[in-house]
Amino acid sequence: MADKTVPGVIRKLDEVVVNRIAAGEVIQRPANALKEMIENSLDAKSTSIQVTVKQGGLKLLQIQDTGTGIRKEDMEIVCERFTTSKLKQFEDLNSIATYGFRGEALASISHVAHVTITTKTADSKCAFRGKYVDSKLKEPLKPCAGNQGTQISVEDLFYNIPTRRKALKSPAEEHAKIAEVVSRYAIHNSRVGFTLKKQGEGVADVRTPPNSSTVDNIRTIYGASVARELLEIDHQDDKLSFWVKGHVSNANYSAKKSTFLLFINRKYSTITLYRLVDSSALKKALEGVYQAYLPKNTHPFIYLSLEIAPQNVDVNVHPTKHEVHFLHEDAIIEAIVRAVETKLLGANSSRTYFTQVMGSSYLIPPEHTSRR
């Protein structure tokens, strides 16, 4: 037994261990790693993104894109922490610091998996392949054949964190999470073609062609029953400086499970990109709007893309928290709710009527009046 009067000796943990623990906190499951890699492929202006998965991404998680590729000279440091082609100066950090990843995604992944990158830029004669462990190149780059773009293979995720691996759900559930991430990015980036396949299988789980529309992709992924009942949202608010666009289902559509897709802008020095996030406050508020229209215990389909002033994104959001917060949140949510409600109202004016309650007008669909 330890002597109660003698303090323990404080030692600095091995750097490899520290990095692994930190990485395991950021990358909690295959779908988190994939989200980062999809964003990198989109950042690199890919027109097509193919994801191949084995055992729910635990054995293999591979992404192949048609983007700019990575310069051979950069391959040495690409998996190191804080190496990025997207920020140039300290001031840039402010605008994206809130999303956590500042050249850290590939580094994090390489601390908890075996990473292989094969990449070719337009002006290179051949592709190059590098294998990475703990953010370092394991052996010299190998020239190889390849098309322009980048392929990243993540193998044996969490091979060095058995507890994290054990805590994960079944491969089938991890695969479902991956399919959800691919589907959502496909809807938000309809110009880019997406494919998700299990390795060795001919039929894709998700497939969207390049240059399609948002509604086309909603139809392909979520079905015609929702795609034909969509209302377009496009509302700009100068006072609160935000702009919300998207598609939400009308009162003819209801589902047992709610679908809520929310993207928020992320600004780099020269580009604005969108990140998939959660906002339970916005979700709850919008579901509340639909309560008056939909049968009990059924839910709408909501896809929204929200652009807010970068300085309004809450600086306390940590990358592991997918939940997003922003300044003037209540007011912005209220304005979004009003925009959606107005659309619903317009679309349902034939089947609804107004009633005056204490000076303010409430919309009550006839089929629900008995519930009030």
The correct pick among 56, 57, 98, 104 for binding ligand ADP (CB under 6 A) is: 104
Q: Which two tokens stand for residue 196?
A: 């998700």
The correct pick among 72, 86, 235, 283 for binding ligand ADP (CB under 6 A) is: 86
Q: Do 63 and 34 meet the contact criterion of CB atoms below 8 Å apart? A: yes
The correct pick among 67, 246, 300, 319 for binding ligand ADP (CB under 6 A) is: 67
Work out whether 105 is an interface residue with Mg ion (CB under 5 A).
yes
The terminus-to-terminus CA distance of the chain in angstroms comes to 67
Which partner, ligand ADP, Mg ion, none, binds residue 195 by CB below 5 to 8 Å per kind? none
- Smallest distance, ligand ADP to C-beta of residue 192, A: 12
Q: Which is nearer to Mg ion, 40 or 217 (CB)?
A: 40
Q: Which is nearer to Mg ion, 105 or 336 (CB)?
A: 105
Nearest Cα neighbor of 42 from 186, 177, 180 is: 186
Q: Which stretch binds ligand ADP (CB under 6 A): 16-24, 80-88, 220-228, 271-279?
A: 80-88
Cross-sheet strand order for the sheet of 301-308: 230-237, 242-249, 301-308, 259-267, 272-277
The correct pick among 58, 61, 106, 168 for binding ligand ADP (CB under 6 A) is: 106
Q: At a CB cut-off of 8 Å and minimum separation 6, what does 100 contact?
A: 26, 317, 318, 319, 320
Q: Which stretch binds Mg ion (CB under 5 A): 103-111, 228-236, 247-255, 275-283?
A: 103-111
Q: At a CB cut-off of 8 Å and minimum separation 6, what does 195 contact?
A: 48, 49, 50, 51, 204, 206, 207, 208
Identity of the amino acid at 237: D
- Mark residues 37-76: x for contact with Mg ion by CB under 5 A, - for none: ---x------------------------------------
For helices 214-222 and 171-188, angle between their N-to-C axes, nearest 10 degrees: 160
Burial 179-208 (b: 16+ CB within 10 A, else e): bbbbbbbbbbbbebbbbbbbeeeeebbbbb
Q: Which stretch binds ligand ADP (CB under 6 A): 24-32, 38-46, 182-190, 273-281?
A: 38-46
**Residue 352, by phi and psi: left (phi above 0), alpha (psi -120 to 50) or beta?**
beta
Q: Do 127 and 120 meet the contact criterion of CB atoms below 8 Å apart? A: yes
- Mark residues 138-157: x for contact with ligand ADP by CB under 6 A, - for none: ------------x-------
- Smallest distance, ligand ADP to C-beta of residue 67, A: 4
For 356, other C-beta atoms within 10 Å of its C-beta total 8
- Smallest distance, Mg ion to C-beta of residue 86, A: 8
The correct pick among 23, 105, 282, 302 for binding ligand ADP (CB under 6 A) is: 105
Between CA 86 and CA 202 the distance in angstroms is 36
For 70, other C-beta atoms within 10 Å of its C-beta total 23
- Smallest distance, Mg ion to C-beta of residue 314, A: 20
Work out whether 259 is an interface residue with ligand ADP (CB under 6 A).
no
The correct pick among 20, 32, 33, 40 for binding ligand ADP (CB under 6 A) is: 40
Which residues of the shown chain bind Mg ion in the complex (CB under 5 A)? Answer: 40, 105
Which residues of the shown chain bind ligand ADP in the complex (CB under 6 A)? Answer: 36, 40-41, 44, 65, 67-70, 78, 83-86, 101-107, 150
